[in-house]
Structure 1
């Protein structure tokens, strides 16, 4: 028994030593990777002072990799997802904040051609109306994820965009924080999205999606506008199908590229009159709107789950986040703020 205990103690000590050695090796490799990144940044034309400032406090973040590799795989359906993502308190908060910011929101909505309720819905779902923005240093998160190697090119591109954000003076390094994945501010833009869509709405020289609500609203609106938003349409509507409906018409959930998904969308897309002729009805059983609008039939779960006729604006929401659950939750919350006519 004594020998067995001694063996176990020795084994545990050996494991701790091995773990410490592995950690030291990993840190050494990370440090060398940072040196290489700094050299690449210099080759790309970034100023040495900016590089030194940006990388001065870079650290290997175990929590980032843990979050990346251990994302929960909970089996959800839209029936369980929507009540959690869009609870009553969030609807109430969205309506209250819409009313409080109505003048600014509707001014921005008019300028960008994006209904204000969708701006508020995205604001609420992405950052809980600006309250939850993340506390991870953006540069450290991106360097850690690039170092991990699984999506190195993607995260290096995000890193260069992050350096551009610092270079242009939109935020200082001390406050340059976001989610573990590098999503930032009230809009939760990744750095490349920031560079493409962020707006300095109040013309103070900074695209401040962290603290400036007007910049955040305008940046959300600009993203949707650039993604092809049409403010004469809503996003879609829940529908019911007739029995024995041919599921070849349905745009199913699955993993494929955006290009492939858009091709499938075109196959599913039909005018509302055609969906009406196929037996599709509003969820309450009444006829579809008598307007000439095309829509694709989206199936977030399976043939027994909720079905939606999705208009072109749904594609813009899927450009933001290619998830039926996310896009549908944005539409659902927007409807609770103010239900559309069409």
Structure 2
């Protein structure tokens, strides 16, 4: 019994020591990384005071790293993946929402030359019509991905873009949640894409892809237009 207790105690001590070491290493790496991001943000026009306010108390979420090498759209056979996104219920929802949001869809189609059905389809695939935005705080996820794992330069750019969005006041910090990689809103824009292509679709002076469906629909149409969308050309079928 004594031997067993000794082994258990030693094992527990080792686990605690290892966890503490890992936590310490994480913290040791995160702090200088954030200091570097602070300098980068200032160089990109984000006031130091805004950086400090928005990142106060920020700590890494290491769970996001496991998603870097596991994305279902890259691992699941295409027809199985599509079957999970397109079903009778989602099509029925699309028809209802197409009617409900007919006016902003028509305005977007006229301005950006992208038909309403395509914009609605993107909305359905990306967030199931606003039902699934993701739940991860963008600043936390993107700060973590900026400091750990591969593709750090890419995620640093997205982190800085997120700071610009929040500093501009288009979206409240507590509302800015999304996917592990930083995509957010009704049609899951990345922060840098938001800065380039998001538009004000409801005329309130803000670009809000989370709480404004007209903004999201108009921004999606603008995205497709700027990507070279050609109206009336068949695709995918």
TM value normalised by structure 2: 0.91
Please state how far the C-alpha of 1:44 moved relative to its aligned partner. 3.2
User: How many Å apart are 1:104 and its aligned residue?
Assistant: 2.5
Deviations 1:187-226 (A, max 9, x none): 1000111011101122222111111111000000000000
Q: Map Cα deviations across residues 217-240 of structure 1 (whole Å, 9 max, x no partner).
A: 000000000011111212132xxx
Q: Show the counterpart of 2:231.
A: 231
- Residues 46, 81 of structure 1: CA spacing in aligned structure 2 closer, same or farther, 3 A cutoff? closer
What does residue 68 of structure 1 align with? Answer: 68
Structure 1 residue 96, shift from structure 2 partner = 1.2
**Counterpart in 2 of 1:140?**
140
Q: Residues 119 and 23 of structure 1: is their aligned pair in 2 closer, same or farther, counting only changes over 3 Å?
A: same
Report the Cα distance in structure 1 between the residues aligned to 2:186 and 2:73, rounded to whole angstroms: 26
4+ residue runs of structure 1 moved beyond 6 angstroms? none
2:6 corresponds to which residue?
A: 6
TM-aligned CA deviation for residue 20 of structure 1: 1.6
Which residue number in structure 1 is paired with residue 150 of structure 2? Answer: 150
2:177 is matched with which residue? 177
**Is the contact between residue 73 and residue 81 of structure 2 (CA under 8 Å) also seen in structure 1?**
no
Q: Are 1:80 and 2:73 matched, yes or no?
A: no
1:188 aligns with 2:156: no
User: Counterpart in 2 of 1:261?
Assistant: none
Give 1:177 shift: 1.8
Displacement of 1:23 in angstroms is 1.2
CA offset at residue 71 of structure 1? 4.3
1:69 deviation in Å?
4.4
Which residue of structure 2 aligns with residue 117 of structure 1? 117
Range with bigger deviation, 142-151 or 38-47: 38-47
2:17 is aligned with 1:28: no
Q: Residues 154-208 of structure 1, C-alpha deviation per residue, up to 9 Å, x if partnerless? A: 0111112112212322112222222111101111000111011101122222111
Task: Verify: 1:39 aligned to 2:39, yes or no.
Answer: yes
Moved more, 213-222 or 91-100: 91-100
Whole-angstrom CA distance in 2 between matches of 1:185 and 1:34: 26
Q: Any unmatched runs of 5+ in structure 2?
A: none
Query: How far does the alpha carbon of each residue in 1:284-312 deviate from its partner, in whole angstroms, 9 at most, with x for none?
Result: xxxxxxxxxxxxxxxxxxxxxxxxxxxxx
The separation in 2 between residues aligned to 1:10 and 1:73, in whole angstroms, is: 44
Separation in 2, partners of 1:27, 1:202: 43
Moved more, 222-231 or 41-50: 41-50
Tell me which residue corresponds to 2:213. 213
How many angstroms does 1:35 deviate by? 2.1
User: For residues 84 and 150 of structure 1, what CA distance do their matches in structure 2 show?
Assistant: 29
Question: Which structure dedicates a bigger proportion of its chain to strand?
Answer: 1
Distance 1:104 1:157 in 2: 31
RMSD over equivalenced CA pairs, Å = 2.1
Whose helix fraction is larger, Structure 1's or Structure 2's? Answer: 2
